[in-house]
Structure 1
């Protein structure tokens, strides 16, 4: 039963008109960012550090993708007056909600992933200094996708999907997405996060605390790479601290 529900959810979300719009939007955004050449002095434009930084930063916008798919997954039965038929059927509650959640999460990831593809195209098909564009390495783009995109979108999907499920209200779902987005910047302001242009560098204690409480992993990324040289930012792959690997 669960496989059938998940298969139906995938086909339903795939037919949503907003899905190709999100794909094109994030693909274009990735191309635009990749062509700008934002990178510290001495760091390659397509370095591991830069891919991590831009991928982490723009996952903040994924909450609005998730918001749409969550509303589509949960509220469509109510909008089409199908709730009474669904709830009195033999479908188990756990199968029903897990299939809807996984559909939301999977298509949110699929809609955001073109950002990384666009970023790659933007780096290599641009007027940027060729000496600061390194050789293509698949791991440079796969690792941020695994370490940043998938966990961030899973956490945001869980929060927004839960709000939508508990409230059955589209306005509350919109508010939860905006709240998650704004909460990050409010916390960054009070925690002196490196993502904000602070005139006073954050202390190691503040950086460590921000790394723990930041749900998007940006502060943790900055905390781990704050002492990297330009050479390391270009060639090193980001690794989790040892206590994550134990």
Structure 2
């Protein structure tokens, strides 16, 4: 049953134009940024240097907060909106199959969308000279330079954001909290990064950053142009600890939402509210 719900969720997602719009936007923005040379690279650093690629993927992944709120909050609420809860009560669908099928189908969709930025950066580094950027500003293009930061930076960020917003819809049963929550989390994170610059304990700043922006900055701040052009940022030290801590917190959100979720809790509350509204309407008339 899990596989049926998982495949159904994927089919639904990939039949929606929004999935391809999100993917296309990330691809185009990333391609134009690196293609026109609008990167953090200094004059002696390639626009497609491993550190620059990682930096761009990390920055773009911050917008994954908003994407995760749009993608991960919808699957459960969709059944509330279409009032399919009664069918779930009558059909032999287990909690595990329903919850896991909805979550992983949506999460895989979000991973697909995030690949838009990875592909866009790759295309931009190839097409850069045709955009008018000096061809000498681009170096070698091994695929691992793109995959490694996606696996170590983008993927953990998407996991944390996905579990956060999925848990939010389970606990609140309110779609408004998802969309407003995405904006609030995004703004709060940017504000927290600004205030973190005044904290003297830099190790603490690196570990408390849920999306790793400060961690990446401190890990790469003193790299020479040669190191930026030739070496991938290793997953070690504070960066490794940061990824473990916040992936673990994401796992806690995931488990908390799973144990909190139940068909009777999630759907009967909505049905009771609908009955109360119906009674009030009859009373008025």
Alpha-carbon distance between aligned partners in 2 of 1:35 and 1:242, rounded to the nearest angstrom:
32
**Cα pair 2:73 2:165 within 8 Å, conserved:** no
Offset of residue 176 of structure 1: 1.5
The alignment status of 1:27 with 2:27, answered yes or no, reads: yes
Question: CA deviation digits over 1:57-114, x for unaligned, max 9?
Answer: 1111112222222233111111111012113432111221111111221111111211
Contact 2:57-2:149 at 8 Å conserved across structures:
yes
Equivalents in 2 of 1:191, 1:63: separation in Å?
Answer: 20
Distance apart, 1:242 and its partner CA: 4.9
2:167 is aligned with 1:162: yes
Matched, 1:103 2:105: yes
Aligned-residue offset at 1:117: 0.9
Could you tell me how far apart the structure 2 residues matched to 1:44 and 1:27 are?
20
> Is the 2:57–2:154 Cα contact (8 Å) retained in structure 1?
yes
Aligned to 1:5: 5
What is the alpha-carbon distance in structure 2 between the residues aligned to residue 40 and residue 207 of structure 1? 25
Out of 204, 227, 232, the position equivalent to 2:227 is 232
Residue 151 of structure 2 corresponds to: 146
Aligned positions of 1:171-186 closer than 5 A: 171-186=176-191
Larger radius of gyration: 2
The CA distance in 1 between the partners of 2:193 and 2:89, in whole Å, is 42
1:81 maps to 2:86: no
Say if 2:62 is the partner of 1:60: yes
- State the TM-score, normalizing by the size of structure 2: 0.78
Secondary structure of the equivalent of 1:113?
Answer: helix
Which residue in the other structure is 1:195 paired with?
Answer: none
Please give the alpha-carbon distance, in whole angstroms, between the structure 2 residues aligned to 1:100 and 1:24.
24
Higher fraction of helix: 2
- Give the TM-score normalised by structure 1: 0.89
Contact 1:191–1:206 (CA under 8 A) maintained in structure 2: no
Structure 1 window deviating more from structure 2 (212-221 vs 82-91): it is 82-91
RMSD: 1.8
> Match for residue 125 of structure 1?
127
Give the 5 Å matches for 1:192-211.
192=197, 205-211=200-206
Count of aligned pairs: 235
